[in-house]
């Protein structure tokens, strides 16, 4: 992402020099639908970013400009509330969290834009929230920690954007570390970094360019199915509060008490948590093939047991799995569209991309978008 356009637009609109902040999107290597089950995830910040040019003003207003949309927005600080302008709510929601925490808000001018593809599941919303939280921390001289800003950003999304997201996206974007993935415990927010040395391999994302309507309703249903499984097993162990606390052995012991669908959902989550732990160990040993094998298994579980894939994701997965140049691939995100993440031989990335585009277009009539990404640092000053 190049900041020059952002700076130029800011100086044209506001006639002053801005502070510059960058805030990245994220991938998740493995650990899908485990976050709301108090489990483990394994994300990393990537070099698809939102950049901000920000400065204080003395007019007690928020004055925002979204460069990618070429839209401006203004609001008096005293009128701070959710608005009809959906993109502005991501920023305003963060300001509201600082206000709730007892900080006296100041007028802010802000121009932002970036190269995180919208709708690809790379968390552009978390990047926007984190970037603006970092800006407010700077201008308000607020002694807030990264964890506090992450929680503020998540609450902003809940209360102003109306999306009841987990904490992984904001966490990965804020705490990212170059060439490292983050094993995050979604219950305690304890985390460990794992060095990613993919050697002769790189990370390639393939965007289906579809988002099926099922996504939000299915998400709620999956949450309910997981909660149903927890209630059954709590009869045998009062310490269980989420699927995170359930062993495969206990689940198998009580197989006959479960509706078959609920059992499949719970089994997937229990196994997926185990796969995150194994992926962390694989990276510690620089065993890229072991990591890749776990990714293949993750997709198969998401497709067959959790039932959140779709024909477009499965097509991309099948092509990747058949390729000798790919050691691991899976769908990434909530499901029913978005991206697959693939670990591909660097020297074969171009030919693999061409093959994917050709085959996917032939079967779907659509062209997928392909992104090569690198692992980068989290939100901070430029």
> Catalytic positions, please?
169
For residues 31 and 280, give the distance between their C-alpha atoms in angstroms, rounded to a whole number: 11
> What is the C-alpha separation between 260 and 319, in angstroms, rounded?
30
> Which residue in this structure is represented by tokens 């400009």?
65
Report CA torsion sign: 208, 279, 44, 335: positive
Q: Which of 207, 251, 213, 252 is nearest to 366 (CA)?
A: 207
**CA–CA separation, 116 vs 127, rounded Å?**
9
Which residues contact residue 260 at a Cβ distance below 8 angstroms, ignoring those fewer than 6 apart? Answer: none
Give the SS3 label for residue 64: strand
Contacts of 229 (CB under 8 A, 6+ apart): 243, 246, 251, 258, 262, 263, 265, 266
- Sorted by sequence, the CB contacts under 8 Å of residue 53 that are 6+ apart come out as 3, 6, 7, 9, 10, 18, 19, 20, 110, 111, 112
Task: Decide the pairing of beta strands 19-28 and 43-56.
Answer: antiparallel
CB 131 within 8 A of CB 23: yes
CA distances 306 to 88, 272, 317, Å, are 34, 11, 16
């Amino acid at each position: 992402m190049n900041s020059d356009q952002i700076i130029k637009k800011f100086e044209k609109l506001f006639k002053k020099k801005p502070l510059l902040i960058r805030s990245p999107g994220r991938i998740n290597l493995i650990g899908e639908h485990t976050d709301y089950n108090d489990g483990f995830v394994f994300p990393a910040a990537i070099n698809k970013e939102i950049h901000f040019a920000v400065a204080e003003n003395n007019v007690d207003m928020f004055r925002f400009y979204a460069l990618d949309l070429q839209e401006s927005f203004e609001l008096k600080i005293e009128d701070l509330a959710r608005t009809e302008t959906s993109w502005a709510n991501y920023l305003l929601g963060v300001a509201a969290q600082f206000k709730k925490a007892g900080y006296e808000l100041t007028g802010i001018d802000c121009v932002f834009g970036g190269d995180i593809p919208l709708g690809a599941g790379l968390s552009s919303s978390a990047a926007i929230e984190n970037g603006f939280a970092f800006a407010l921390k700077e201008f308000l001289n607020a002694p807030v920690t990264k964890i506090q800003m992450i929680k503020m950003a998540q609450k902003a999304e809940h209360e102003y954007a109306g999306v009841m997201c987990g904490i992984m996206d904001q966490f990965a974007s804020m705490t990212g570390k170059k060439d490292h993935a983050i094993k995050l415990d979604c219950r305690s927010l304890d985390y460990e970094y794992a060095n990613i040395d993919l050697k002769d391999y790189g990370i390639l994302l393939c965007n289906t360019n579809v988002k099926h309507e099922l996504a939000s309703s299915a998400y709620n249903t999956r949450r309910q199915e997981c909660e149903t499984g927890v209630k059954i097993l709590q009869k045998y162990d009062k310490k269980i509060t989420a699927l995170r606390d359930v062993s495969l052995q206990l689940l198998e012991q009580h197989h006959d008490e479960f509706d078959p669908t609920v059992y499949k959902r719970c089994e997937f989550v229990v196994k997926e948590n185990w796969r995150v732990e194994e992926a962390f160990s694989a990276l510690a040993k620089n065993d890229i093939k072991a990591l890749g094998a776990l990714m293949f298994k993750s997709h198969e579980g998401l497709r067959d047991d959790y039932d959140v894939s779709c024909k477009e994701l499965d097509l991309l997965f099948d092509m990747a799995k058949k390729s000798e140049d790919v050691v691991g691939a899976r769908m990434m995100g909530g499901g029913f569209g978005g991206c697959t993440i693939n670990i591909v031989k660097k020297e074969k990335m171009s030919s693999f991309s061409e093959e994917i585009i050709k085959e996917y277009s032939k079967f779907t009539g659509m062209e997928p978008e392909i992104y090569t990404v690198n692992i980068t640092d989290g939100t901070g000053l430029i």
